[in-house]
Amino acid sequence: MENLSASVVIPAYNAEKTIDFCLDSLVNQQGLNSPLEILVIDDGSTDSTVQHIEQFQQQSFDENISIRLFLQEKNQGPAAARNRGAKEATGEIILFTDSDCVAEIDWVKQMLAPFSNSEVSAVKGAYKTRQPELIAKLAQAEFDSRYELLAQQEKIDVVFTYAAAIKKSVFWAVGGFDTSFPKADNEDTDLSYKIARQHTIIFNPKAIIYHQHPANLTEYLTKKFSRGYWRMYVYKRFPKKAITDSYTPQSLKLQIVLAYLILLTALLTPFIGILVYALVIFAAFFVISTFPFLKIVGFKNLTMWLFSPVFIFLRAVVMGAGIMSALPRLMFDKNFNPIEPLNS
């Protein structure tokens, strides 16, 4: 499949600080073989996002690239905004990214290249960052560890919206994004699993998007709590994915269990002294489980390397807390079910 028509869909909400950088990276894409339309869906912004986009539309750029702006009357969340963009898109392939992302100069070309194989229905790109902060670098190392896992597989089952390309026909065949997800959290995982049931998704690590990861620990852990919480809603639909998928390392699940065993034995050891041996064993296994991550981090940054086990431990505790927070509402509150379960 050559010369595919493509549409880039960007949901934007109060994105005045980032949208210019995002659009600038897209209008300067190289290696395009066909016209490219960029659709920005303003999701009820209350800042000057719309004005920034309108000003950008007046600038000079390649005549084969167009920017279209659509306004949501009120904030409805990124899932609804992306669906609106997909509805308005004219391209055969819909590319998704976010308003705080900056595309590598050949990102569109790299995202479209795998569609030369007619069996490919969706393509996932990769996050990178240029941030110097320790937490941001560790967050990037976490992504890199996931990418190593994806690169080992011919087909994958995730296509996250920071760098996603999906055949428009396939996107609508699976129903698009579920708008009952209230924010940008796991709505793309849900879509991914729907696509992967009958279609082929592949990973292209050369399709790079630059992003500002959380720069402080509180922001990072808050996001991880949310990830754990909303992933449980996806697992309710697709229970088999809780056992294994192409993106989640089994070591992460082990780390969550070990982290809570460490906390439990640490609390009980003052009262039951013999549990100190269990505490040492659990801690040793936890440290061993971090070795693959430490290998990715490397020894060049000693501070980063030494802090990694603490970083991973805190991640495990917080994600576990998010999971446990979701379980009671999913299991016992019949009135709290914004996402209807599907057969997996």
pLDDT, one tens digit per residue, over 268-327 is 999 999 999 999 999 999 999 999 999 999 988 899 999 999 999 999 999 999 999 998
pLDDT band for position 336 (cuts 50, 70, 90)? low
pLDDT at res. 332? 76
Distance CA(246)–CA(241), nearest Å, equals: 9
Assigned domain for 231 exists: yes
Retrieve residue 144's tokens.
Answer: 């890199």
Assigned domain for 12 exists: yes
Q: What is the pLDDT of residues 99-155, one digit of tens each?
A: 999 999 999 999 999 999 999 999 999 999 999 999 999 999 999 999 999 999 999
Task: Please indicate, yes or no, whether residues 170 and 241 belong to a single structural domain of this protein.
Answer: no
pLDDT band for position 254 (cuts 50, 70, 90)? very high
Distance CA(225)–CA(217), nearest Å, equals: 12
Assigned domain for 182 exists: yes
User: At what angle are helices 302-332 and 250-268 packed, to 10 degrees?
Assistant: 90
Task: Please indicate, yes or no, whether residues 294 and 171 belong to a single structural domain of this protein.
Answer: no
Nearest residue to 39 (alpha-carbon basis) of 87, 2, 4: 87
Task: Please indicate, yes or no, whether residues 234 and 207 belong to a single structural domain of this protein.
Answer: no
pLDDT at res. 344? 34
CA torsion sign, 232 to 236 to 242 to 246?
Answer: negative
Task: Please indicate, yes or no, whether residues 181 and 270 belong to a single structural domain of this protein.
Answer: no
Q: What is the pLDDT of residues 163-195, one digit of tens each?
A: 999 999 999 999 999 988 878 889 999 999 999
Which residue stretches of 41-77 are H helix?
49-57
Assigned domain for 239 exists: yes
| Tally of domains in the chain | 2
pLDDT at res. 342? 40
pTM: 0.91
| Domain limit, last residue, from 168, 196, 213 | 213
Non-local (6+) Cβ contacts of 329 within 8 A are 336
Task: Please indicate, yes or no, whether residues 164 and 231 belong to a single structural domain of this protein.
Answer: no
Retrieve residue 226's tokens.
Answer: 């949310």
Task: Please indicate, yes or no, whether residues 154 and 169 belong to a single structural domain of this protein.
Answer: yes
Task: Please indicate, yes or no, whether residues 203 and 146 belong to a single structural domain of this protein.
Answer: yes
Task: Please indicate, yes or no, whether residues 268 and 242 belong to a single structural domain of this protein.
Answer: yes
**Is the CB of residue 79 less than 8 Å from the CB of residue 186?**
no
Instruction: Give the domain CATH number at 18.
Output: 3.90.550.10
Least confident of 3-17, 128-142, 196-210, 322-336: 322-336
In whole numbers, what is the pLDDT of the chain averaged over residues? 93
Q: Is the pLDDT reported for residue 239 higher than 70? A: yes
Assigned domain for 1 exists: no
Residue-by-residue DSSP string for 87-136: HH--SSEEEE--TTEEE-TTHHHHHHGGGGSTTEEEEEEEEE----SHHH
**Which structural domain, as residue segments, surrounds residue 35?**
6-213
Residue type, 15: A
Distance CA(217)–CA(162), nearest Å, equals: 22
Q: Is the pLDDT reported for residue 339 higher than 60? A: no
Task: Please indicate, yes or no, whether residues 193 and 208 belong to a single structural domain of this protein.
Answer: yes
Task: Please indicate, yes or no, whether residues 314 and 221 belong to a single structural domain of this protein.
Answer: yes
| Domain limit, last residue, from 164, 191, 213 | 213
pLDDT at res. 180? 84
Task: Please indicate, yes or no, whether residues 159 and 251 belong to a single structural domain of this protein.
Answer: no
> What is the DSSP-derived secondary structure letter of residue 41?
E
Task: Please indicate, yes or no, whether residues 266 and 137 belong to a single structural domain of this protein.
Answer: no
| Owner of token pair 């990214």 | 97
| Domain limit, last residue, from 213, 235, 265 | 213
Residue 14, by phi and psi: left (phi above 0), alpha (psi -120 to 50) or beta? left
Residue type, 83: N
Q: Is the pLDDT reported for residue 197 higher than 90? A: yes
